[in-house]
Amino acid sequence: MVDVGGAVSTDTGGARSVFDHVPLMAALPGGVRDELWGRARVRTGEAGETLVMQGDPTGLLHVLLMGEATSTCVAVTGRRVVTARWLAPSVIDKVTMFAESRHPASVALDTLAMWCTIPFVAVREAVSANPAAQGHALAKVAAAARLARTSFIDVAIRSSAARLARWLVMTTDLGVPITVPSPQERLALQLGMTRVTLNRLLHDLVARGMIEVEGSTVSVVDPGRLRDLAGF
C-alpha cells in the first residue's frame, strides 16, 4: 500500500474531482467538501490487498476513488460469504458511520485501486451541520442496510439456483451486459456458493433453455421462466 498524503497534488491526479462526485459527498456544500478533503489520507493498493478485517474497530470512513472492492464475512458454518461489492466512486461500509463499533466484514481490493480515509467524527460533524445532507446521508445508509439484509436473506432461505437466477434477472434489469467475472470464485462467493456449484448451475440453465453462455458473456433466452425460478 502506498500512502500519497491527503492534499490535492500531482500524485493523486483527478482524485479530488472524483471525491466531489461520490454520492455521499456530492450533497455537501463545496466548502465542507474542501474541509473533509483536507482531513483525508489518500492511498493506493493492488488487487488482493485487505483494507479492513472483520472485527477491526471502526473509526474511519473509506471512500473508494478508483477500482473495485468486495466485503466478505465468515459464517458460523465456516463458509465465506460476500456481503457487498463496491465500484468507484463510492463509500465503503457506510452503515458503520452511524453505528461505530467493529467492522462486520473484511474488505479487500478486486483491482488496482485508490481510496481515501476520513475520520468518522469529521464526516458526522459535516453532515449534522447540513440538514439536507443529513437526510441524504441517512437515505444512503438505509439503502445499504436494506441491500445487506436482502443478501443475507437470499443466502438463508433461497436455493443456489434461485440466487443465481435472481442475480441474472437483476443484472438484466439494470440494462448492462451480463458477464461472469473471472475467476468465477468472485461471483460464487457473492451468491453464497462454491465455484463448482455455480458452474453446474450455469450449465443446467443452458440445458433448460433459459440462458446462453459464450465465453464469459451470458444472454437471457427465456426471461419469464428465469423470473419464476428467481421467485419474482
What does the H/E/C string look like for 164-200? Answer: HHHHHHHHHHCCCCEECCCCCHHHHHHCCCCHHHHHH
Q: Give 78-120 pLDDT, tens digit per residue.
A: 767 777 778 888 888 776 666 657 887 889 998 899 999 999 8
Average pLDDT on 22-34 reads 83
Does pLDDT of 59 surpass 60? yes
What pLDDT score does 13 carry?
Answer: 54
- pLDDT tier for residue 125 given thresholds of 50, 70 and 90: confident
Query: Edge-to-edge strands of the sheet including 41-45?
Result: 2-3, 41-45, 113-119, 60-66, 90-92
Whether residue 223 is preceded by a cis peptide bond, meaning omega within 30 degrees of 0, is no
Q: Identify which has the larger pLDDT, 99 or 71.
A: 71
What pLDDT score does 7 carry?
Answer: 36
Q: Is residue 62 within 8 Å of 93, Cβ to Cβ? A: yes
CB burial of 12-38 (b: ≥16 within 10 Å; e: otherwise) equals beebbebbeebebbebbeeebbeebbe
Q: How many other β-carbons are positioned within 10 Å of the β-carbon of residue 231?
A: 14
Percent helix / strand / coil, the chain, rounded to 5: 45, 25, 30
- pLDDT tier for residue 190 given thresholds of 50, 70 and 90: confident
Please state, in angstroms and rounded to a whole number, the distance separating the CA atoms of residues 139 and 132: 11
Domain positions in the chain are 2-157, 160-230
CATH number, domain 160-230: 1.10.10.10
What's the Cα-to-Cα distance from 190 to each of 9, 113, 215, rounded to whole Å?
A: 36, 20, 20
What pLDDT score does 40 carry?
Answer: 93
Average pLDDT on 187-211 reads 87
Q: Give 126-135 pLDDT, tens digit per residue.
A: 777 777 666 6
Q: Is residue 143 within 8 Å of 41, Cβ to Cβ? A: no
Q: Chain-wide mean pLDDT for the chain?
A: 79
Please state, in angstroms and rounded to a whole number, the distance separating the CA atoms of residues 28 and 49: 30
Q: What is the number of alpha carbons within 13 Å of residue 38 lying toward its C-beta?
A: 8
Dihedrals φ, ψ of 204, to 5°?
-65, -40
What pLDDT score does 203 carry?
Answer: 92
Average pLDDT on 30-57 reads 90
What pLDDT score does 116 carry?
Answer: 94
Q: Cell numbers 474531482 correspond to what residue?
A: 17
Please state, in angstroms and rounded to a whole number, the distance separating the CA atoms of residues 144 and 139: 9
What pLDDT score does 51 carry?
Answer: 92
Q: Is residue 62 within 8 Å of 117, Cβ to Cβ? A: yes
Dihedrals φ, ψ of 177, to 5°?
-60, 145
CATH number, domain 2-157: 2.60.120.10
